[in-house]
Amino acid sequence: MYCSCIALEPKALLMDEPCSALDPMATSIIEALIQQLKEKYTILLVTHNLSQAKRIADYVAFMWYYNSHGKLIEHNRSNIIFDTPSNPITATYVKGLMD
């Protein structure tokens, strides 16, 4: 099921919570499509679903919003962010210890 119908041939795709409120079967289909599309396009995926990010991301940027300011805390290959993050805020978040 490869999607070859992206009309304008963009260099990048922005996907903001593409699986939000979907059941696991539909999420699996969307994630498979994302895996296919990332062979041809740069994909920026915004998600709060850490499991999904871990499954499909090559790189992760962890951003934090605090005191009315957003900040890029850390970015790296996804395995580094999830296994050995360098920032304590990132480490706490990916371990599921904060909201």
pTM attached to this predicted model: 0.81
State pLDDT tens for residues 6-58. Answer: 677 788 999 999 999 999 999 999 999 999 999 999 999 999 999 999 999 99
Answer yes or no: is pLDDT of 2 > 60: no
Cβ–Cβ contacts within 10 Å for residue 94, how many?
Answer: 19
- Rounded to the nearest angstrom, the gap between the alpha carbon of residue 7 and the centroid of all alpha carbons in its chain is 24
Answer yes or no: is pLDDT of 77 > 60: yes
Measured between alpha carbons, how far is residue 24 from residues 32, 35, 46 in Å? 12, 16, 18
Burial class (CB within 10 angstroms; exposed 0-12, middle 13-18, buried 19+) of 81? buried
pLDDT of residue 8: 79
